[in-house]
Homo-oligomer: A and B are copies of this chain.
């Protein structure tokens, strides 16, 4: 058996899920989202199965599910790989984030009440706390939790899976790119979003969400150079 680089794969206890395949899926998903699995390296079913101490079956199902969310690529030779996306695609993913998330926020607004706003403030504080700790990964996850909490209030859920897919596609590249950037500041427009919600101002909410996403993109200024470096490595 060959020695392999070990990326920690842990989430919650396997027993907490009624299906093992669901647990495997969630574990791999967060692992990809957080950039623990580097773009380009091939994932093998047996390898993951052994690492997670399950049979190959749940791994296969999880990988196919991730493939249909564009989180992994299945090449012609049937190898599974976390793709390294091009700068063009990266920017397009951000365009779609703006398109879908402003839409989702506006539709969710009528369903957000006082108690939800308290929760949003708490979630926003969690974001700030993570970033001031310098923890990029948990900050990013907390940021997603903030956004998700808004959109989820809409009882008609069609956007959310698509938005999740966008986040998932952006995750790996964003993570490796951020590690190349020596220093950056993480702004967010969560306060403005909360204000807009409290004043029930749909347009202001859209603006806040859009600005928040744009700020997120602006961190990746020299993205083309980063991409070239990553591709050659």
Residues of A within 8 A of B (CB): 21, 60-61, 64-65, 67-70, 86, 88-89, 92-93, 95-96, 99-100, 103, 107, 156, 158-159, 161-162, 165-166, 169
Contacts and interface: CB of A to CB of B under 8 A. Distances in A.
Given A92-B158, A99-B99, A99-B100, 20 more contacts: A21-B64, A60-B61, A61-B61, A61-B64, A64-B64, A68-B68, A70-B158, A70-B161, A86-B156, A88-B156, A92-B107, A92-B156, A93-B158, A96-B100, A96-B103, A96-B162, A158-B166, A158-B169, A162-B162, A162-B165
A158 B61 contact: no
Contacts of A96: 100, 103, 158-159, 162
A95 B206 CA distance: 16
Nearest to A155: B88
A64 B95 CA distance: 29
5 contacts: A68-B68, A89-B158, A95-B103, A96-B162, A99-B103
A60 B103 CA distance: 34
A166 B95 CA distance: 19
A113 B107 CA distance: 37
A21 B61 CA distance: 12
Contacts of A92: 107, 156, 158
Contacts of A70: 158, 161
Nearest 7 interchain pairs by C-beta? A65-B68, A88-B156, A68-B68, A92-B156, A162-B162, A61-B64, A92-B158
